[in-house]
Amino acid sequence: MTESLSGDSPAPSADQGVGLVVVSHSRTLARSAVALASEMLHGRPLRIQVAAGLDETTFGTDAVAIMQAIERADGPAGVVVLMDLGSAVLSTELALDLLQDPSIRDRVTLSPAPLVEGLIVAAVAAAGGASRAEVAAEARDALMGKSGHLSAPTDGATPDAGEVNAEEVVGVFSVENPHGLHARPAARLVNEVRALDASVQLRNLTTGGSPVPAGSLSRVATLAALRGHDVEVRASGPQAQEAVEHLLTLAARRFDETVEETAAPPAQVRASSISGPLPASPGIAIGPIRRLTAVPVDLHQEPLGEPAAEWRRIVESVAAVRRDIEHVRVVTAREVGAEQASIFDAHLSLLADAEMLADVKTRTSAGIGAVSAWAGCLANVEREWASLPDPYLRERAADVHAVGDQVLRALTGEPAGRMTSHGVLVANDLTPAQTAGLDLGLVTGVVLAEGSPTSHAAILARARDIPVVVAAGPEVLGIPEGTTILLDGSSGELHVDPSPELLAEYERRAADAAGRRAQQLALAEQPARSRDGISVAVAANLGSVADARAALDAGADGAGLVRTEFLFLDRSAAPSVEEQSAEYDAIAEAMDGRRITLRTLDVGGDKPLSYLPMPQEANPFLGQRGIRLSLEHRDLLRDQMAAICRTARDHPTSIMIPMVSTPGEMIEARQVLMEAAGSAGLPQGLHVGTMIEVPSAALKIEAFLPYVDFVSIGTNDLTQYALAAERGNAAVAALSDALDPGVLQLIDHVCRAARGRIDVAVCGEAASDELAIPVLVGLGVRELSVSPPAVPRVKAAIRELDTGRCTTLAEEALTLAGADDVRKLVLAMLEEDEG
């Protein structure tokens, strides 16, 4: 991520001075340092760019982001780069290699100055017109004043500072980790060393091996340090004493690794059915078990470029893989746990391993192509790890292979895994990207050992009409490939190697379902009216123009939710009013005159956005999300609302405010909307509404009614907050059910207050749940917004309902104890109606 923190400064021009780039592991630290330095400038313009952190909360540095920051800060007078600790220096050096224009590289000075003090004096010097050499010199001497003030009086007994720093500090620790110094504790050690200003060497005293640099994971792993081995730590430099003490303390804590039993391989499943799975996406799928298989990367058919170009390819690919792994690590920590996520630390350390990267660069300099250079280096490291004496440590060579393979695939564009034959995909879990890339010509259904019905992967699967069962447990991973498996994504039923009778029954059900889908699609253009003549609008949730076209084809009555944050996810800078309006117009035109509801940016928590800075928070789900974050960035909100007003002048449009907790937030949002509308005033026909996602908003609905034309209940978040069960967390997936009577009572409270005054819609996943639809209609909901493929099915379900019976059903559901009881009640009613 790069950003300019001198927003009032004019664009770089020939008469401006030296530009500055701040590289830090922490985005918060970098911003604060720039803010402090800016106080010293008294309004004088200065180009300062920041390349800090991998996101708002994750520490790290990114060579590509640093390169972009240097390019933006560059001018005729050049650039001075200030860095904090460890890998920030390495990443910056890699960034220089990435620069396409060698003249820019020649104008860059990397400063060894301390980050904060150096930045302050460098900013003052640069704003005063000093040359690049003068700015760098000022930064380098930044600590002289502090040193002079704090230094003790010298006498003959005090050693020279240089002599103190040159002395080595030595310590010894005993390895207490059950599996020795394997990938995770080794990665923790390496990362701690890289953050210190010290040169640290390690040696296995028990085996008598040679010393290795402690900042290189590939070398630390070759220590083959098992439980009970003694390891010597030898450090020199300004923080040598601190380094040794810190590593000895860390070793005594087993590098904070929890003691776990060695995981046994999954047993072969022989039972005819598996207990515990959860339904995630409706539909029946039958077929042989298939797994994602990767096509090997061809290491011998690559075009050779100039050595500099080949090295640049490697650096760009490494940076891309780093970003992917950091994202996976954050998601894993949130959804599975920090201990499980820490395995990715070893992967990240390998990608920043200075010795390994130096080996690769040497190979490219010798004329070897990028793919062969990377593969050759990683093969050597993998062989070293595979030759270690301990079997557990030998297995960790898989980490090297996994990371190496990711970079090779980034270099070649070869996908990481694909299904090569028709069947049911069985996997531990899927990322949203993997789900989006599934070949619908091959995948008949998906079974996941982990996962949640409300995960983003499950939402994508529903949007793509793929039957899915989740939380099936690790035993499914032990079923041999090719075994017939049967799944029902509506009930969560899962059968392995079903009997001929069961297979025939489900094949009949699948054929009946296919026939019903064809009939539903044929009637999709018609309105959804219940048996007693009550109309219920069925709209679509959209995230793109393509979604809008699919929704129109599916018979949607409108767009009940347009997730505007999805439209510009790949942007590093905020889109202009014109760009946003053009996207909204395209969606409106694709919907052919039907009303579209544009939700303002709903980011934060589990939905970061690269161009919108977010604070680091202990619990992002309860922090700056939705309208709270937008009101902190009023210029962005005002621009978005201005774009919505433009679209509303030509198309039926509604604006919806997310994550509202108090009427005051709604009032403030309407004030910004009035500012955005300008002298022309609000467009005629623009409806203003809010999402009801927070229990307090549902309970205080009367206070909101004067300020809204409609409300839409987001059952995903409302359920999450009402039941204190984070969506996406497999451990509480069964608890997070919108049919829990506690959630239904909140919906009932909203519908009773709104009746006859404003419309109430539901845009969460419950809107497409066939067992939830009768209850929602009975409570008074008159619009359901669902994924485009679900529109025909939901309309068909409504046509089978009698709203009087639904009202009676809903009243009884409110009195029950749990979601399971509600589902049984609804199922009994539907079966009675069918009979």
What residue spans in the chain does CATH classification 3.30.1340.10 cover? 168-256+309-412
The pLDDT, as a whole number, for residue 793 is 93
The pLDDT, as a whole number, for residue 82 is 94
Give the CATH fold of the 2-145 domain: Rossmann fold (3.40.50)
Nearest to 419 by CA among 436, 402, 441: 441
CATH number for the domain formed by residue range(s) 278-294+417-503: 3.50.30.10
In this model, does residue 423 exceed pLDDT 90?
Answer: yes
The mean pLDDT of 150-178, rounded to a whole number, is 62
Is there a catalytic annotation at residue 806?
no
Contact criterion met (CB below 8 Å) for 528 and 785: no
Catalytic residue, from 25, 179, 229, 456: name it. Answer: 456
Is there a catalytic annotation at residue 456?
yes
The pLDDT, as a whole number, for residue 8 is 35
Quote the DSSP letter at residue 200. Answer: E
In this model, does residue 572 exceed pLDDT 70?
Answer: no
Contact criterion met (CB below 8 Å) for 216 and 189: no
- The CA distances from residue 223 to 236, 403, 511, 757, 786, in Å, are 20, 20, 61, 73, 56
Q: What are the tens digits of pLDDT across the range 732-751?
A: 767 889 999 999 999 999 99
What residue spans in the chain does CATH classification 3.40.50.510 cover? 2-145
For the record, the structure tokens of 261 come out as: 């039993």
Quote the DSSP letter at residue 276. Answer: -
What residue spans in the chain does CATH classification 3.50.30.10 cover? 278-294+417-503
Which run of H or E residues covers position 761?
Answer: strand 759-762
Phi and psi based region of residue 406 (left: phi greater than 0; alpha: psi -120 to 50; beta: remaining): alpha
Q: What are the tens digits of pLDDT across the range 690-704?
A: 999 999 999 999 999
Catalytic residue, from 645, 751, 763, 806: name it. Answer: 763
Q: What are the tens digits of pLDDT across the range 307-323?
A: 888 888 888 888 888 87
The pLDDT, as a whole number, for residue 333 is 55
Mean pLDDT comparison of 55-59, 138-142, 183-187, 533-537, highest-scoring range = 533-537
Contact criterion met (CB below 8 Å) for 772 and 721: no
The pLDDT, as a whole number, for residue 162 is 35
The chain-wide mean pLDDT, for the chain, equals 83
The mean pLDDT of 294-306, rounded to a whole number, is 70
Arch. (CATH architecture) of 168-256+309-412 = 2-Layer Sandwich (3.30)
568 vs 637, residue with greater confidence: 637
The answer regarding whether domain 528-834 maps to CATH 3.40.50.720 reads no
In this model, does residue 149 exceed pLDDT 60?
Answer: no
The pLDDT, as a whole number, for residue 261 is 33
Tell me which residue has tokens 């920030």.
88
In this model, does residue 585 exceed pLDDT 50?
Answer: yes
In this model, does residue 560 exceed pLDDT 90?
Answer: yes
Which range, of 427-431, 758-762, 793-797, averages the lowest pLDDT? 427-431
Distance from C-alpha of 539 to C-alpha of 710, rounded to nearest angstrom: 15
In this model, does residue 339 exceed pLDDT 70?
Answer: no
The pLDDT, as a whole number, for residue 767 is 95
In this model, does residue 232 exceed pLDDT 50?
Answer: yes
The pLDDT, as a whole number, for residue 605 is 53
Which range, of 167-181, 607-621, 665-679, averages the lowest pLDDT? 607-621
Percent of the chain having pLDDT more than 70? 82
